[in-house]
Amino acid sequence: MATDPLAHIPGNAGPLLVGHTLAFLRDARHFISAMQAKHGDVFQIRIFGRSEVAILTPQAVREVYLDKDKVLSSTQGWSTSIGPLFRNGLMLRDFDDHHLHRRVMQQAFRRTALEGYVSAIHRVIDRHLDDLGPGPVDIYLFMKRLTLDIATDVFVGASLGTQAHAVNDAFVAMMAASITPVRVNLPGTAFRRGLEGRRQLDQIFGALVAQRREEDEAADLLSRLSHARTESGELLPADEVVDHMVFLLLAAHDTTTATLAVLLYELARNPDWQKRVADEVAGLNGAEVTLDNHKTLPDTSNAMNEALRLSPPVPFSPRVALRDTEIDGVAIPKGTGVGPSSMFMHRHPKWWTEPDRFDPDRFAPDRAEDKQHSHLFFPFGGGAHLCIGNHLAEVITKAVVARLFLRHRLTADPRDKVVIQAVPIPKPKSALMLTVS
């Protein structure tokens, strides 16, 4: 009889065939919390047919992200969820291949490029806010439309016009497909709809790449990537440009939408904090939020970080061990999944005071709960896979907040029971209604 390679790890593989997949999809945060309460910070589970080892310590997070021996594959880590739908995105590449493509894309995220995006970002924000309120609004849907417009204006270099709805519907279908337990390409399934959404995005952005290559290079990311060349001097293959654009647009709008929705919901529920943030951004006197001044908004920064703590936009960073290794003293066999869980670590009761409460002052210098370990708070990932657009995401979030509270206030009905679904990207399970005044 073969020896169980995970016999030294508490926990089990769960029910036959499905493992823990259904429990995880039903309520990922509750499931992980229950396993931690039962087994401690190290335990095994089985999700989407793969054995996983959870190590809920900041030191484990550090060792996974640094991966000094290059033994942990992000490509294989994402293969059972978003891999078939967001193939070859930057986060789904490993080691030298990842480094090569990140270097190509980095030109669009240098400071001079970021500075050029700021005015375009504010134009889109102001255009959307002109149509806001007063009255009830589903703040999640409103922010999703706004951030998709920002992403297309800044990265595509033009509005998608009538195609915007198709692009949004494709992303929604692809994200639903990434977490469906029925992962077969059959008619009527969520997985089939996700694959069809991906084919539609391939067609839309494939045509745009061809168009950009007929034009001189411009400042938008799509144009830069369409004219980018490999080390041998050849144009980056068109399908790879499309792969990067699809993944980048997802990251640029869905994750920012999640952060803004949670942040504005919490500010609506906490009017004292809403006033602090509104008073602070009023000090800009209507000026744009920029790379130079966004760090001068400490209350806004702390409130944003608290939203990122409560609902990190990427709740897991899965990896697969390519050979036997050890993480924070725990032996990890080859082929086993392992990866940081910001969703849980950001609420670990050992490290955070009243972890489920909205309390931005925990990030203030006199408390600095996030500074207890270098890898306790990691909303943008870390190591080689640190989010390439993290600075831009901060500016966009603060710009929306500043422009919004320049002219509006938000209130939440205390009777509403809003539930935020944690995976694959935080999203309210029903309408997130706030009242604009």
* Residues 30-57 pLDDT 10s: 999 999 999 999 999 999 999 999 999 9
pTM for this entry: 0.93
Q: Is the pLDDT of residue 1 over 70?
A: no
Q: Is the pLDDT of residue 345 over 70?
A: yes
Q: What does the alpha-carbon distance between residue 3 and residue 301 come to, in Å, rounded to a whole number? A: 50
* Residues 361-419 pLDDT 10s: 999 999 999 999 999 999 999 999 999 989 999 999 999 999 999 999 999 999 888 99
Instruction: Dump the DSSP string for 15-75.
Output: STTTTTHHHHHH-HHHHHHHHHHHH-SEEEEEETTEEEEEE-SHHHHHHHHH-TT--EEHH
* Residues 243-283 pLDDT 10s: 999 998 888 888 999 999 999 999 999 999 999 999 999 99
State the average pLDDT for the chain.
Answer: 93
- Rounded average pLDDT over 89-116: 88
Most confident of 36-40, 81-85, 119-123: 36-40
- Rounded average pLDDT over 115-138: 91
Buried b (16+ CB within 10 A) or exposed e, 236-258: bebebbbbbbbbbbbbbbbbbbb
What does each C-alpha distance from 332 to 8, 59, 154, 324 come to in angstroms?
10, 15, 42, 6
- Percent of the chain at pLDDT above 90? 76
pLDDT score, position 2: 59
* Residues 276-302 pLDDT 10s: 999 999 999 999 999 999 999 999 999
Q: What does the alpha-carbon distance between residue 163 and residue 184 come to, in Å, rounded to a whole number? A: 28
- Percent of the chain at pLDDT above 70? 100
Domains of the chain: 21-436 (1.10.630.10)
pLDDT score, position 304: 98
* Residues 178-226 pLDDT 10s: 989 888 999 999 999 999 999 999 999 999 999 999 999 887 888 888 9
- Rounded average pLDDT over 5-19: 92
Q: Which residue has the higher pLDDT, 144 or 110?
A: 144
